Amino acid sequence: MVDAPRSAYIHYLSHPDEDIHIYPKKDTKRMKLPQLDPCGNNQTASASPTSAESWKHDVFLSFRGEDTRRGFISHLDRALAYWQAMKTFKHDRDIEVGPISPELLTAIEQSHLAIIVLSPNYASSTWCLDELSKILECIQEQDTRILPIFYNVDPSDVRNQRGSFAEAFTKHEERFSEDVKKVNRWRAALRKVANLSAWDSKNYRSEAELVEEIVKCVWKEVHPTFMLSGSLENLVGIDFALKQLRLHLAPEENDVRFIGIWGMGGVGKTTLANLVFQKISHHFEHSCFLSDVRKKKLSALQTQILFPILKGDHIWDEWEGTFFIKKYLCNKKVLLVLDDADQLSQLEKLVGEKNWFGVGSRIIITTRNERLLVQHGTTNHKVDVLNDDEALELFCQHAFKNDQPEEGDLTWNIGKTSGSSSTWPFCIGCVIRGGTVADTV
């Protein structure tokens, strides 16, 4: 259900009057080479929320085993799978003999992203070159995104096929003298991928720094920022509420902040919190969205928060869970959302004090109970309710699939009298289109 959150209230701890811009784009060490746009244009398109649902793997790793398997690739694969819970495909054969396996070709087709680690001996492997050719083939057919890494190689050597790459192709030309087209296809694939925007390992102080930046980039691609202009549905009244919440998040501040969103049921608290979580979670070392807090056991919620850290171990005692949250998150930049909390004990056991979390952490709490937030130590800021025009727009979207009714239509009165809560315009609109109230819940 899509609703409008302008009737919510926002609580914050400090700096309410600062002029804040949320998460300005930082300089990156990724090389700004001409970017191949798989969508066929040069602008950044907002990803559909369902665009990655059909992918079996989030990431396909293409690499030369003898160069990187036991070092760089092992660290990158662990970071993708462990820190951000990515589904990664990595073939584990040390010896690459014969033609590329059908399993690898299928995995490429079923992968959302492809990370290509161009190392000194990459071109000496016909498997790697066949993988690369298949990846470039799929990028045009299935909008797969390619993320190249120049690992201990000069990008110009890859692009112009000099050094170890020249030596490799000399051998390939001798071995495949009767299949010149295959060798030329490999050469073209390498030139093409070498002209994409890429990371160069020489620009980083350590592999750990490079791995961290790659993981952040992958997270943005797999869990994209949902821009309002590109969303599948028009979220009426969301703009103003988002601007207010951005103001109080104050991302450039290194303090710890608790932000509370409160209002009656149906005003859009969860929608607002979820949008913000999607937009900013990749800026944090650890993030977790806890839905329906009032319906769940505290130990289960604590387990959810700590799941990536405790590697799946279950917390049976809420006091133990509180101890582990304080112990393991006190030095991490954390984003937590507690959605639909209704008891002070929930806040005390899950996000008790600011010193439980590392600098820059943000804790967002949604609730119907303003007093709960006051007891936890926040002050409040009011966001305007859904006005008549917005209530009418929401009603018309769901009743007639239009933003406005025809002039003089009875709809003007129905939409405006349905109230500032987004629930009633939505429900009444759906009923008029032939549904029932139960269908809208």
Residues marked active site are found at 131
Would you give the DSSP letter of residue 117?
A: E
Contact 57, 89 (CB under 8 A): yes
Distance between CA 276 and CA 296 in Å, rounded? 23
Let me know how long the chain is: 441
Distance between CA 218 and CA 45 in Å, rounded? 16
Q: Which of 192, 271, 277 is nearest to 233 (CA)?
A: 271
Would you give the DSSP letter of residue 296?
A: S
Pairing of strands 9-12, 257-262: antiparallel
Q: Which of 287, 296, 289, 303 is nearest to 345 (CA)?
A: 296
- DSSP for 26-52, written as a single string: PP--SB-PPPP-TTSSSSPPPPPTTTT
Distance between CA 85 and CA 342 in Å, rounded? 30
Query: What torsion do the CA atoms of 106, 108, 109, 115 make, to the nearest 10 degrees?
Result: 170
* First-last CA distance in the chain: 7
Beta strands in 169-317 (DSSP E): 199-200, 257-262, 286-290
| Angle 33-171-132 from CA coordinates, rounded to 5° | 35
Q: At 57, phi and psi to the nearest 5?
A: -120, 140
Would you give the DSSP letter of residue 387?
A: -
Give, for 118, the enclosing helix (H) or strand (E). strand 111-118
* Exposure b/e, 218-234, CB count within 10 A at least 16 = b: bbebbbbbbeeeeeeee
Distance between CA 18 and CA 41 in Å, rounded? 37
Distance between CA 183 and CA 129 in Å, rounded? 9
